[in-house]
Amino acid sequence: MDQQPSNDTQIPADQSQTTPPVIPPSGFGTAVAPTGDKKGHEGLKSVLATLAILIIAPLIALTLTAFIFQSYEVDGPSMQSTLQNEDRLIVLKVPRTIARLTGHAYIPHRGDIIIFNKNDLSELGGGTGNKQLIKRVIALPGERVVVSNGILTVYNQANPNGFQPDKTLPYGKVIVTTPGDIDLTVPAGDVFVCGDNRTNSLDSRYFGPIPVKDIVGKLALRIFPFDKAERF
């Protein structure tokens, strides 16, 4: 008796027993936040960071210019030929800041170039209001200063017969003559200053010694013109 073909499809034994692999869910055990919350959090952090920069940066700049250093531009001929009109300078304020923090007076060295505040100079033709001037320290507290016949002489305990700083210090090579008729003793807490351009400088020969409390800082660098950059 002929056998009729079966309608059942024969499946090979090796395929019928194959089990599909189990793939674990991606990121199993990792907590995630809704997309909207994450974007909002990052946006808030960005805003706060920007605000912090806008607030902190000006404070840092103000601190630096008030207590550490400041940039200045020369205006006028009184310090020629050492400094020229429109020279850009860096003035160091650290020594004055330290002196104030320690409760001491800041006394610069002879020959230092300093920036200081000077009030109304209208009577001397220097204008009204508070100005900041740049001059060189010539005599210190307690010293006697004499200007006569174009020569500046300083008297102190170490030099009772006097000496001429314009001839003994390096800056003196630019000094030709010092007009005026001066004979005074610098008070305690003051210094006597002059411009290097002695024939065209409004300085202590005309308005007297300046209080050290009015000193802003000491010239440290000339940064422009670049070909004349120099450390002082």
Q: Which residue has the tokens 């001059």?
A: 135
**Nearest residue to 145 (alpha-carbon basis) of 156, 133, 134:** 156
C-beta neighbour count of 84 within 10 angstroms:
13
**Nearest residue to 94 (alpha-carbon basis) of 115, 69, 71:** 69
Residue 175 DSSP label:
-
Residue 45 annotated among the catalytic residues of the structure:
no
Q: Which residue blocks in the chain are alpha helix, DSSP H? A: 13-16, 35-63, 94-102, 165-168, 204-207
Residue 135 annotated among the catalytic residues of the structure:
yes
DSSP labels for 41-84? HHHHHHHHHHHHHHHHHHHHHHHIIIIIEEEEE--SSTTTTTS-
Peptide bond into 81 cis (omega under 30): yes
Residue 142 DSSP label:
T
Q: Exactly one of 78, 118, 201, 218 is catalytic; name it.
A: 78
Q: Exactly one of 93, 118, 135, 218 is catalytic; name it.
A: 135
Residues with a catalytic annotation lie at 78, 135
